[in-house]
Amino acid sequence: MKKVIIRTDASIQIGSGHVMRCLTIAENLKRQGCLVSFWMEPLQGNLIDYVKEQGFEHILEAEHADLYIVDHYGIDEKWENIHRKYTNKIMVIDDLANRSHDCDLLLDQNVVPNFEKRYKTLIPQNCKTLLGPKYLILRDEFIKARQLFNGEKRNVERLLIFMGGTDPTNETMKVLQALTETSPIFHHVDVVVGNGNIQKDKIKKICQERGYYYHCQIPYIASLMQQADFSIGAGGSTTWERCYVGLPSSSTIVAENQREATKYAAELGAVLNLGWHNEVTVEMYSNLLNTLKIEKQPLDKIRKMGLSLTENEVPNPWINEIMELLA
């Protein structure tokens, strides 16, 4: 049995995205017969208990393993080189291309300008790269939702709000306030938060008072995306998940690492970019909500572009590359 250690973290500041996509990789490796452990620090807003609930061991220091998978913006080639003594192979998941890595396999699922070449000087010559949305890290629920997508044009009656697991810039509360100033009445509003959202109790209370549907740390976000007509979300990996299931959406940039990919996705026509969170006001969300019911055609164009950018012949082809690395 091959042993794999995933080095990643979640916190109020970091968010939950790294851990969530690593859980998808871990589940796929588990099906292949691998023993997977998570090395995570007990930061405020961590997901250690959640990872344990999914059936994976948690460790707090280096151990010997056949493969280390690193998904962490604070780790570079210095850390990777030091930990070579514990492992035969190292895989890195990155989005930034802003530091050098000592790794054998690198995965970046984002579409940004020059995405196919930007790691060339940052990795060893013999490192294999998996770049672009062909290598999206997708849970089974997203793959199923894509298969069920029928491509029909719909009026915007059902709204999904999900600003990331921790929502550090409090965008969810802005959107909820904007909904009180919006003339169109949405028949169904889903509001999704993660355990790390410090406003979750207040958000839950508002949802109960208004008849919205509140969801916390859920494993069925793809199902909600599949049923929604439009989503107000944050930048990051969930942007590409929305594209993958054919859900037109807006993205608010809530972290610096989301800036480049969100801008480029908007330039390509796959998402509406509302901009940097400090500049996105309640009034901007309200204006967006007011226009949704009268702009059906532009939303259909966004849907089609998102589907086109994320099209792949075989979902999650990265699993075969990882297993080849472990062979």
Residue 54 CB burial class (10 angstroms; 0-12, 13-18, ≥19): middle
- Whether residue 248 contacts residue 302, with contact meaning beta carbons closer than 8 Å, is answered with yes
Phi–psi pair at 161, nearest 5 degrees? -115, 115
Q: Which helix (H) or strand (E) holds 318?
A: helix 318-326
Is 241 one of the annotated binding-site residues?
yes
Going by C-beta distance under 8 Å and a sequence separation of 6 or more, which residues neighbour residue 91?
A: 67, 68, 69, 70, 103, 104, 105, 106, 107, 322, 325
- Whether residue 123 contacts residue 229, with contact meaning beta carbons closer than 8 Å, is answered with no
State the catalytic residue, choosing from 18, 83, 101, 277: 18
Is 157 one of the annotated binding-site residues?
no
Q: Which of 267, 62, 49, 299 is nearest to 158 (CA)?
A: 299
Q: Catalytic site residue 187?
A: no
Extract the annotated binding site for substrate. 139, 241
Q: Which residues are tagged catalytic? A: 18
